[in-house]
Amino acid sequence: MPDQALELLHFIDQHASGEIAMPEVVAADESARRHYLVNSLMEEAIRSSQLEGASTTRPVAKEMIRTGRPPRDRSERMILNNYNALRFLREDAASRLTPALVMELHRILTEGTLDNPDGAGRLQGPNDERVAVWNAQTNEIVHAPPAATELEGRLHTLCAFANGELEVEGFLHPVVRAILLHFMLGYDHPFEDGNGRTARALFYWAMRKQGYWLAEYLSISRILREAPAQYGRSFMYTETDEGDTTYFILYQLHVIKRAMRELRDYLERKVSEVREVERLIRQSDEYNHRQLALLGNAVRSPDQRYTFSSHARSHNVSIQSARHDLLDLLQRGLLTRRRVGHKFVFAPVAGLSEQLND
């Protein structure tokens, strides 16, 4: 591990694990944390799919995920699958990685997107065409993945490595383990398609399992997509230097650090926006004190939901007063309304901060 790698690992240890030290707009409120996490999962799902050919734009993809509408084409299906896979790893996956879990992850990622539907959640076999990486200038093979007959055994070894059950020489830093897991899946290329998406999803699984909570809020694929050639070269340099993964590790560490800094900048901008909107709300004479409290809460917690009875209980007023407050905000275009069962549920409109700033 060269000094540069140790320095980057120290930075990640300081800022991505242990005590939560995010800006207060996220750290202080579970709803806000959930909102930013969902946005981060969407961002990574979109960028990871775009890195492998999905052509859908971010606004269209986010609209599809948020509204729950069915995907219209293969690109949208790739993105929705990626989002569902990241949620699966976060919410449903066991603490140990198993071949069955990797297969299920790949099935979720590729369902409905493969030319051969039977390839979803299945290792390539001896009769399947294996993909090789060529150097277009020299017309030479840069990387030929292992034979299909080796894949089952290699997948068991990969899982043992991910779980810390494979003996290694000396101390292996947890972040390096997550990065090497990413590399190993990409190197073995065990599936017909979707190997990159599977590899990046396993990286997030490993980071979360090892206590690096901030990784859930990062999108490494967005940065990788800005310079896909560098991503490819980090694999190639390892291949052409007798399997020295230092190239890949250093590149990925730089990507993680940049993603962390960009997340911090983004959250600081959001904190500033929230404070400015809250200042404007407090100075406004257009709303009563209950409406001001609700708007302040909605700006900080965009996923918050309100009903006549919840608003009435929060402020110890009658249902009639609560009804007046919420319907007035609805008429002003600051809330949306939908019927759930026998009651109306209100939610902040998209871009509430911008509307209150106008």
The pLDDT of 52-64, averaged and rounded, is: 83
Instruction: Indicate the SS3 state at residue 338.
Output: strand
User: Which residue range forms the structural domain that includes residue 210?
Assistant: 3-267
Domain total of the chain: 2
- Quick one: three-class SS letters along 219-242? CHHHHHHHCHHHHHHHHHHHHHCC
What's the confidence (pLDDT) of residue 25? 47
Closest C-alpha to 99, from 229, 202, 246, 218 = 202
Q: Between these two residues, 148 and 223, which has the higher pLDDT value?
A: 148
Q: Do 200 and 327 sit in the same domain of this protein? A: no
**CATH number of 128's domain:** 1.10.3290.10
Same domain? For 252 and 306 the reply is no
320 is a domain residue? yes
Tell whether the model's pLDDT for residue 37 goes beyond 70: no
Mean per-residue pLDDT over the chain, rounded: 85
Could you tell me if 291 and 255 lie in one domain?
A: no
Q: Identify whether residues 202 and 341 lie together within a single domain.
A: no
Please tell me which residue, 59 or 273, carries the higher pLDDT value: 59
Q: Taking residues 322-341, report their average pLDDT.
A: 93
Q: Which amino acid is at 229?
A: A
CA dihedral 335, 339, 343, 349 (to 10 degrees): -10
Same domain, 294 and 151: no
Tell me, yes or no, whether 173 and 232 share the same domain.
yes
User: Both 178 and 323 in a single domain?
Assistant: no
Q: Of all residues in the chain, what percent carry a pLDDT higher than 90?
A: 41
Q: Quick one: pLDDT at residue 66?
A: 74
- Domain presence at residue 138: yes
Tokens for 145, please give them: 């993945």
Residue 324, pLDDT above cutoff 90 = yes
pLDDT band for position 28 (50/70/90)?
very low
Q: Classify residue 213 by burial, with Cβ atoms within 10 Å: 0-12, 13-18, 19+.
A: middle
Which carries the bigger pLDDT value, residue 266 or residue 202?
202
pLDDT at 79: 92
Calculate ∠ Cα 150-153-158, nearest 5°.
Answer: 115
Q: Which residues pair with 140 in a beta bridge?
A: 135
Distance CA 349, CA 73 (A): 28
